[in-house]
Amino acid sequence: MAPPLSSWLQGFRAVSAPLRSLVCFPYAGAGAAVFRDWASAVGSDTELLAVRLPGRESRIGEPPLHRVEDAVPALLAALEPLGDRPLILFGHSLGAALAYATARALVARGHPPALLAVSGRRAPHLASRRPPIHGLDDAAFRSRLAALGGTPPEVLACDDLMELMLPMLRADFAMSDAFLEPDPPSLPVPILAFAGAEDTEATVEEVAGWERLAGAGFTLRTLPGGHFFLHGQRAAIVRYLKKENF
């Protein structure tokens, strides 16, 4: 495994002279490790980097963040050593909101990413159809996590592990639930959006709403699966990323 560039970015394979960097932002409750298996699929000329937020994995002792905006300055600092290398930002669910906020900040700095790829996330101007869940009592919160399907049942069943993870999970869902921009400006960046055909958390129509922000072209790809379709559709997602920008 390649060493992290900072506490915020984890590499999984050393690339001697990468032509581009694919930066992946995980969904709520997840860490950089969810993208470990992507390293073999992206190709030998592409550096794969995964974002690790505070409160998980090697950063489990750090307090988690509660707002997307709070993560952006540190993410920009972590990306700065990459210099002028083309960046592809990919995020799923909460990760899509983080990738978008990072892309917007990079545009403001005069260094827009080559591509913003968003997955399993409604467009930022669309409010969630469900009430916030981060403030539910523990039993109701765990029940909601089980319904979403992103947390392994054995983790949900372990009281000690859940006690350790609940503050981070609640913070992530608070971050996700609060992110809303009623009138977002368009980005001078092409946007590639992925939707799960059976996803009830972010419907195909809601994901298609990202077209409103795409000032340099928009593509929507609908793939089989529910909200966590990215796990079963990794090969297809990487293939479409390559088709758009590799």
- 111 catalytically annotated: no
21, 92, 176, 227: the catalytic one is 227
- CA 43 to chain CA mean position, Å: 21
- CA 234 to chain CA mean position, Å: 14
Residue type (1 letter), 233: Q
Q: Cβ neighbours of residue 186 under 8 Å, at least 6 residues apart?
A: 212, 213, 214, 215
- 227 catalytically annotated: yes
Euclidean distance between CA atoms 76 and 84, whole angstroms: 13
Euclidean distance between CA atoms 134 and 176, whole angstroms: 9
Residue type (1 letter), 73: P
Cβ atoms within 10 Å of 56's Cβ, excluding its own: 20
Q: How far apart are the first and last CA of the chain?
A: 23
Pairing of strands 46-51, 9-11: antiparallel
Dihedral over alpha carbons 144, 147, 149, 154 (to 10 degrees): 80
93, 119, 134, 176: the catalytic one is 93
Euclidean distance between CA atoms 12 and 3, whole angstroms: 8
Q: Which positions are annotated as active-site residues?
A: 93, 227
